[in-house]
């Protein structure tokens, strides 16, 4: 009876003869393929359906799979889908992923190396190709079949490296070959969703040693490595599906594929970090709301120039604690209310400190009701230093500023504690009015050329996202350092990518594959980017529930003309030309 699994299965019928068959039998033994055949016989694998084959093979090897349920939850039940995975073992991961994903997507096809034709029971999964050679003319029919399958709404699993992971001397670690550009091409041409998967684990040390002697030995060792997975645990980690329109259309296939490759590697559980548990034991009830009547009475006593602008039923003011004690109290109450939504609240009945008494408050109020809808707290650096306080800056609790930092070199505005009440968070007008208020303020006081402050990166973001933002945007400086640094480096594969391509251009795509709710970088951070902000460092605010904050500065006079006119209005030109 012929072997159920043999290299002879790959040989065309007209090429088979007694001598050739004998040589193939010898090669089967050298490569341990005969042991795979014995596994077939002992566990009656031959002739099973693809699902039953996968179940019985994994059972025969006693392989435990972790992350199955989580992966299946990430797989959409219908629609065009491209799933790409790393290739750490060279065989067993294909069986695992095809079976696990196939339970959700019965239409799944796997673009696979021709060597997997050894497993004839799995042929219904596979579209065979030669991914080692992008220009192999024999790949044409396979790739056309693949494209048609995805365009028709099918799901495709691909291992774009085309070869098993191996030790790379230049990286000094086990890693993958660059991915085949077909993955980027398929996503772009079919408008498919993209799901990155990472399979954890490595082959035996002997596999990597022999591979360093001669690369083709890796392929010859794969049957033995499959059998070596007996009694092992294999963990699967999946990202969040990324819609095709999230990827930039202005980059070439090579860069796009490199991006999609690291989207797989950022799922590596070795690159994982959990935020410290919230330090807030119990949330105190918020203080009573200050009535609009009281707020309007305080506003009526301000100087005329302290009303910065109006829009419909909304007015923007600035003022100081001694002028507006009740208004500042209401701002502090609302800050606590909003910050709690992002796990950043202090837990106290209002969010306040001694800096509320020395800083400038810029806020938006509903004129009819006297209701605060958003605010910024600004520190006028020259005014604060003139008070003679030993450490007048709020952000000194989070960062160490040298004497060369801008807040001691020139008049600056330290910006912080910004918020919008929930009803206005999705409104363009709320944030726009705050920024127009800042613009009108600096037109009154044009000595303030620089804004600096932090953007809070809520702990609702995955730490990997925060690490990527830090790595992409921060240019370290000795003039400002974090008192409590965020010591969570990016994956080595991401670091390699960032040396070739601008990571900041791909933050949206990377975060889309990490964040389960699909959120992008914070709106305020994107806004500062448009203003040409410099990002100095990222620190943890240990006094604010360990919230990560990104320190930045903006040279207002150097902002793009369009934004300068938007925020400063008629005063933009004179502000730019101001000289003390």
Query: Block means of pLDDT (10 residues each) for the chain, length 580 residues?
Result: 50 56 60 71 83 89 95 97 95 92 94 66 74 61 87 95 91 92 93 97 90 78 84 96 92 95 96 78 90 98 97 96 98 94 84 96 97 97 92 93 94 95 87 95 97 91 95 94 93 95 95 93 90 95 83 96 94 90
Side-chain half-sphere exposure of 186, counting CA atoms within 13 A: 34
The rounded distance, in Å, linking the Cα atoms of 370 and 298 is 10
Collect all residues with Cβ–Cβ distance below 8 Å to 247 and sequence separation of at least 6. Answer: 184, 187, 188, 194, 256, 259, 509
Listed residue (180, 215, 177, 170) closest to 87, CA to CA = 177
Q: What are phi and psi of 549, to 5 degrees?
A: -135, 140
Strand partners of residue 195: 83
Alpha helices in 270-346 (DSSP H): 292-300, 325-340
- The b/e string for 444-471 (b: 16+ C-beta within 10 A; e otherwise) is eebebbbbbbbbbbebebbbbbbbbbbb
Tokens of residue 128, six digits: 């065979």
pLDDT on residue 538: 96
Q: What are phi and psi of 311, to 5 degrees?
A: -150, 115
* pTM beyond 0.85, yes or no: yes
**C-alpha separations of 362 from 306, 318, 550, 551, 566 in Å:** 9, 4, 21, 20, 18
Residue 555: in which H helix or E strand, if any? strand 547-555
pLDDT on residue 5: 55
Collect all residues with Cβ–Cβ distance below 8 Å to 137 and sequence separation of at least 6. Answer: none
Task: Provide the 8-state DSSP code for 8.
Answer: G
The rounded distance, in Å, linking the Cα atoms of 507 and 504 is 5
C-alpha angle 378-446-380 in degrees, rounded to nearest 5: 25
The rounded distance, in Å, linking the Cα atoms of 423 and 273 is 33
Listed residue (182, 188, 134, 123) closest to 158, CA to CA = 182
| Dihedral, 566, 568, 572, 577 alpha carbons, nearest 10 | -140
**Dihedral sign of CA atoms 512, 517, 521, 527 in order:** positive
pLDDT on residue 284: 92
Residue 66: in which H helix or E strand, if any? strand 64-66
The number of residues in the chain equals 580
Collect all residues with Cβ–Cβ distance below 8 Å to 370 and sequence separation of at least 6. Answer: 291, 292, 293, 294, 295, 296, 299
For residue range 170-190, list pLDDT tens digits in order: 999 999 999 999 999 999 999
The rounded distance, in Å, linking the Cα atoms of 185 and 187 is 6
pLDDT on residue 455: 92
Listed residue (456, 486, 69) closest to 273, CA to CA = 486
What does the longest C-alpha to C-alpha distance in the chain come to? 105
pLDDT on residue 111: 86
Coil vs helix vs strand at 401: strand
Listed residue (26, 8, 25, 155) closest to 78, CA to CA = 155
**Strand stretches in 233-386, DSSP E:** 233-238, 307-311, 314-319, 360-366, 371-380
Other C-beta atoms within 10 Å of 173: how many? 11
The rounded distance, in Å, linking the Cα atoms of 444 and 399 is 29
Residue 563: in which H helix or E strand, if any? helix 561-568
C-alpha angle 429-362-573 in degrees, rounded to nearest 5: 75
**Dihedral sign of CA atoms 469, 475, 480, 483 in order:** positive
- The b/e string for 322-354 (b: 16+ C-beta within 10 A; e otherwise) is ebbeebbbbbbbbbbbbbbebebbbbeebbbee
Q: Inter-axis angle of helices 325-340 and 292-300, to 10 degrees?
A: 130
**Strand stretches in 73-169, DSSP E:** 81-85, 109-113, 126-129, 155-158, 166-168
The rounded distance, in Å, linking the Cα atoms of 524 and 503 is 19
**C-alpha separations of 384 from 355, 389, 414, 438 in Å:** 10, 8, 10, 18
Tokens of residue 437, six digits: 């208020």
Please check whether residue 494 is in contact with residue 266, taking contact to mean a CB–CB distance below 8 angstroms: yes
**C-alpha separations of 537 from 31, 378, 425, 478 in Å:** 54, 20, 26, 10
Query: DSSP readout, 149-191?
Result: HHHTT-EEEE-TT-S--EEETTTTEEEPPPPPTHHHHHHHHHT
Tokens of residue 269, six digits: 């559980």
Strand partners of residue 554: 451
The rounded distance, in Å, linking the Cα atoms of 99 and 58 is 10
Q: What share of the chain is helix, strand, coil (3-state, %, to 5)?
A: 45, 20, 35
């Amino acid at each position: 009876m012929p072997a159920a699994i043999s290299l002879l299965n790959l040989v065309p019928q007209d090429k088979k003869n007694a001598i050739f068959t004998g040589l193939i039998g010898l090669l089967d033994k050298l490569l341990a393929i005969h042991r795979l055949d014995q596994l077939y016989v002992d566990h009656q694998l031959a002739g099973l359906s693809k699902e039953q084959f996968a179940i019985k093979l994994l059972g025969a090897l006693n392989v435990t799979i972790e992350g199955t349920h989580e992966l299946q939850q990430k797989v959409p039940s219908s629609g065009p889908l491209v799933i790409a995975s790393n290739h750490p073992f060279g065989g067993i991961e294909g069986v695992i992923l095809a079976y696990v994903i196939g339970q959700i997507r019965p239409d799944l096809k796997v673009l696979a190396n021709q060597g997997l034709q050894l497993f004839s029971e799995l042929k219904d999964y596979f579209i065979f190709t030669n991914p080692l050679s992008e220009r192999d003319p024999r790949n044409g029919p396979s790739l056309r079949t693949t494209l048609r399958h995805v365009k028709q709404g099918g799901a495709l699993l691909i291992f774009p490296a085309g070869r098993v992971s191996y030790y790379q001397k230049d990286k000094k670690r086990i890693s993958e070959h660059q991915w085949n550009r077909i993955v980027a091409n398929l996503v772009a041409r079919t408008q498919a969703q993209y799901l990155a998967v990472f399979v954890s684990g490595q082959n035996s040390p002997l596999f990597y040693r022999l591979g360093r002697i001669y690369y083709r030995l890796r392929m010859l060792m794969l049957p033995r490595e499959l059998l070596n997975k007996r009694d092992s645990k294999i963990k699967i980690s999946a990202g969040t599906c990324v819609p095709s329109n999230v990827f930039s259309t202005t980059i070439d296939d090579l860069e796009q594929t490199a991006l999609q490759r690291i989207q797989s590697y950022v799922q590596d559980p070795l690159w994982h970090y959990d935020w410290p548990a919230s330090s807030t034991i119990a949330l105190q009830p918020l203080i009573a709301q200050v009535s609009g009547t009281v707020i309007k009475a305080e506003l009526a006593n301000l100087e005329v120039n302290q009303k910065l602008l109006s829009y419909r039923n909304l007015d923007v003011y600035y003022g100081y604690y001694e002028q507006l004690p009740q208004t500042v109290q209401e701002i502090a109450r609302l800050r606590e209310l909003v910050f709690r939504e992002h796990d950043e609240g202090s837990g106290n009945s209002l969010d306040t400190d001694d800096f509320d008494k020395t800083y400038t408050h810029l806020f938006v109020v509903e004129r009819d009701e006297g209701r605060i809808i958003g605010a910024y707290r600004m520190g006028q650096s020259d005014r604060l230093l003139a008070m003679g306080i030993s450490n007048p800056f709020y952000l000194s609790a989070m960062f160490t500023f040298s004497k060369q930092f801008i807040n001691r070199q020139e008049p600056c505005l330290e910006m912080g504690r910004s918020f919008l009440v929930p009803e206005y968070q999705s409104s363009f007008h709320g944030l726009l009015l705050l920024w127009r208020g800042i613009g009108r303020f600096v037109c009154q006081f044009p000595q303030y050329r620089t804004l600096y402050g932090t953007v809070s990166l809520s702990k609702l973001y995955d730490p990997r996202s925060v690490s990527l933002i830090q790595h992409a945007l921060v240019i370290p400086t000795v003039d400002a350092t974090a008192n409590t640094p965020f010591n969570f480096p990016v994956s080595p594969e991401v670091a390699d990518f960032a040396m070739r391509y601008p990571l900041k251009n791909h933050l949206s795509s990377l975060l889309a594959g990490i964040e389960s709710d699909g959120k992008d970088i914070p709106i305020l951070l994107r806004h500062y980017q448009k203003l040409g902000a410099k990002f100095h460092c990222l620190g943890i605010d240990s006094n604010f529930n360990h919230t990560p904050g990104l320190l930045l500065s903006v040279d207002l006079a150097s902002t793009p003309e369009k934004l300068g006119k938007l925020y400063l209005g008629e005063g933009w030109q004179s502000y730019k030309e101001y000289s003390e």
